[in-house]
Amino acid sequence: MLAAAEVLASISYHPLVHIKIGPLSISPHGLGIAIGFLLGAQLMLPAARKRGISDDDVYALLTRAAIGAIVGARVAYVINHISDYSSIVDVFKVWQGGISLLGGFIGAILLALPEMRKRGLSFWKVMDAAAPGMALGVFVGRIGDLIVADHLGKQTSFFLGYKCPKLGVQTASPCIPGQIVHQTALYDFIFVTFLLAFLLYLRKKERYDGFLITVFGAWYGIERIIEDFLREDKRYIGLTGSQITSVIVVALCLWHLAFVRRTPRWGRWDQGESEPPPEELEEPPTMAAPPEREE
């Protein structure tokens, strides 16, 4: 068993950081993100239709979500690594790398939010339809990370560790030749595979609006809290920026799943915000008593 672990721990491969097509240089990392977004959108469409959300509504939301994801991913990374930038100009050099997955999620939701309200859509129905697609997007995106050897972490003897290639072979993350390190993108890929399967199973049964996205938030947040302990990244009070964000999200999601267990009143723009739905009225309406007859 020990010998097998040593063999597995020594497995390595040469990353493909850039694909050259004539004068063009394409990053498998960026390609994975783009393909993941498109496949996630396709998975969202039939789920949205079942919730009464048209394809035109979904496309309008996805257009804004794509822009918000790009901006949010960059802004979150810059905030977490602000000391790395000597001028405001460096902040806009996106081609040099530096994005945050959680920041992308937040940016996508924030930019799509006004459009949901404008179109009279339920925030919770939209997000439940999107939850499995979000997991699929991460799944595909992590394949791109693995191809370029990104998100390499601390040194380890773990059998799933990645052995850094010889000097001269480029990797997306810094890697000392011959050193074995945690490949956190691989761990995320494995965990999110189970998350995707679980969400697809859960959506077969009718549940309250907001349930699927809450499960996604709790599960993926716990993932990131665990994985980021293995990463080499900037830390505040011992935690990365992603961990701090995840702790807040996980706490809110677990509280909601354990104690609230129903759709929040906020964000139900398909029903209007002034009146709660019938099932949440404190007292059922009663019929007026018939007038008494006079003898």
* Domain-embedded: residue 279: no
* Domain-embedded: residue 289: no
Hey, how many other C-beta atoms are within 10 angstroms of the C-beta on 43? 21
Of 17-21, 213-217, 276-280, which has the strongest mean pLDDT?
213-217
Find, among 133, 146, 218, 212, the residue nearest to 182 by Cα. 146
CA 204: distance to chain centroid?
21
pTM for the structure as a whole: 0.86
> pLDDT grade, residue 168 (50/70/90)?
confident
| pLDDT at residue 79 in the model | 83
pLDDT at 1 over 50: no
* Domain-embedded: residue 92: yes
* Domain-embedded: residue 7: no
Residue-number span of the structural domain to which 38 is assigned:
28-271
* Domain-embedded: residue 278: no
* Domain-embedded: residue 15: no
Query: Quick check: helix, strand or coil at residue 223?
Result: helix
* Domain-embedded: residue 280: no
Number of domains comprising the chain: 1
**Token representation of residue 34:** 């783009």
pLDDT at 275 over 80: no
| pLDDT at residue 279 in the model | 47
* Domain-embedded: residue 234: yes
CA 57: distance to chain centroid?
21
| pLDDT at residue 273 in the model | 52
